[in-house]
């Protein structure tokens, strides 16, 4: 028996669940056809009542929703959709600054043939470029915020990697780890998401007990990308970034057998600027 875990930045669950056209029925249609057992969602951008209304057909069909919203209305928000009810749900990672911002939630499951599993949904801050003398106050603040988040969350991940159970942290990490993970890496060396200290931070996680499952299973391919700008021809030209991924601890990494990005067939079939990233564990 296999377990399918998907991570997806829905870019607003209320918008994602709407049918946009005859050829783009939205998130709920994708969910029905996905075969996923657990879906880790980011950027829900709704309160619990609004999210439950948007996901009503899925919840009526037996899916379970666990989520946390941000104190800033309409911002961030992460959640876990699961076919079976979680045994426990925890919000945040012990941070006074970030636990109420809708950026991290983890749920425990007892999965047949897999065992004890913690599945976490993460929405890491986007940040900003390294501040210069001409940087605005907002840009400087966003850069500093992401750096603080990386510091606190890095410590939390160090402990989580040592848990005596399977652990996966999936989400929008807002960092492309290496040159293979971004189409135009030379043109983005000074942009948030590809800054040297950000990539070094991911590298340190991979040296401390975590595995980037998609990259492990596809070691030499460009991408597979998971985010493309809505603007221009980025999607049509596959000029994307791989910023959505699943980090698994050693015990779970050994159980990963397949990974793929469910890229829409065409621009007008997209219901998010991100694509679902799925890993099959056995």
Selection from 218, 46, 192 nearest residue 124 by Cα: 192
Check the annotation: does 174 bind a ligand: yes
Give per-residue burial for 89-122: e unless 16+ CB within 10 Å, then b: bbbbbebeebbebbbbbbbebebeebeebbbbbb
The predicted-structure confidence for 169-215, as pLDDT tens digits, reads as follows 999 999 999 999 999 999 999 999 999 999 999 999 999 999 999 99
Domain boundary assignment for the chain? 3-124+150-281
- The per-residue pLDDT for 156 is 98
Confidence of residue 262 (pLDDT cuts 50, 70, 90): very high
Q: Give the CATH class of 3-124+150-281.
A: alpha beta
What's the Cα-to-Cα distance from 263 to each of 14, 34, 171, 223, rounded to whole Å? 20, 12, 16, 12
Confidence of residue 217 (pLDDT cuts 50, 70, 90): very high
The predicted-structure confidence for 107-156, as pLDDT tens digits, reads as follows 999 999 999 999 999 999 999 999 999 999 999 999 999 999 999 999 99
Check the annotation: does 9 bind a ligand: yes
- The per-residue pLDDT for 194 is 99
- The per-residue pLDDT for 79 is 99
Residue numbers annotated as active site: 123, 172, 274
Tokens of 42: 């980011």
- The per-residue pLDDT for 165 is 98
- The per-residue pLDDT for 276 is 99
User: Of all helices (H) and strands (E), which one includes residue 261?
Assistant: strand 256-261
Instruction: Give mean pLDDT, residues 47-74.
Output: 98
Check the annotation: does 273 bind a ligand: yes
Mean pLDDT taken over the chain: 98
Confidence of residue 220 (pLDDT cuts 50, 70, 90): very high
Pairing of β 277-281 and β 38-42: unpaired
Instruction: Give mean pLDDT, residues 154-174.
Output: 98
Check the annotation: does 218 bind a ligand: no
- The per-residue pLDDT for 96 is 98
Selection from 196, 182, 164 nearest residue 226 by Cα: 182
- The per-residue pLDDT for 211 is 99
Fill in the DSSP letter of residue 174: -
Check the annotation: does 75 bind a ligand: no
Instruction: Give mean pLDDT, residues 232-236.
Output: 94
- The per-residue pLDDT for 256 is 99
In residues, how long is the chain? 282
Q: Is the pTM of this model over 0.75?
A: yes
Check the annotation: does 237 bind a ligand: no
Confidence of residue 167 (pLDDT cuts 50, 70, 90): very high
């Amino acid at each position: 028996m296999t377990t399918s875990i998907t991570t997806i930045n829905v870019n607003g669950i209320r918008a994602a669940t709407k049918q946009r056209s005859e050829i783009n029925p939205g998130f709920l249609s994708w969910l029905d056809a996905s075969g996923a057992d657990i879906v880790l969602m980011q950027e829900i951008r709704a309160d619990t009542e609004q999210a439950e209304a948007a996901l009503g057909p899925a919840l009526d069909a037996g899916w379970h929703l666990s989520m946390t919203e941000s104190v800033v209305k309409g911002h961030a928000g992460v959640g876990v959709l699961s076919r079976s009810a979680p045994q426990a749900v925890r919000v945040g990672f012990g941070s006074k600054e970030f636990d109420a911002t809708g950026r991290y939630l983890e749920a425990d499951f007892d999965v047949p043939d897999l065992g004890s599993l913690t599945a976490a949904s993460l929405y890491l801050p986007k940040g900003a470029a390294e501040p210069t003398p001409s940087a605005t106050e907002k840009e400087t603040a966003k850069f500093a915020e992401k750096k603080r988040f990386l510091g606190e969350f890095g410590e939390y991940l160090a402990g989580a990697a040592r848990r005596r159970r399977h652990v996966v942290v999936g989400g929008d990490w807002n960092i492309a780890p290496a040159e293979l993970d971004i189409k135009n890496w030379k043109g983005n060396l000074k942009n948030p998401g590809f800054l040297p200290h950000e990539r070094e931070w991911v590298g340190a996680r991979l040296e401390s007990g975590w595995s980037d499952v998609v990259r492990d299973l596809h070691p030499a391919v460009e991408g597979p990308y998971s985010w493309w700008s809505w603007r221009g021809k980025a999607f049509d030209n596959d000029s994307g970034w791989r910023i959505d991924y699943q980090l698994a601890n050693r015990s779970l990494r050994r159980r990963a057998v397949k990974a793929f990005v469910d890229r829409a067939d065409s621009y007008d079939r997209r219901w998010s600027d991100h694509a679902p990233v799925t890993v099959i564990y056995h």
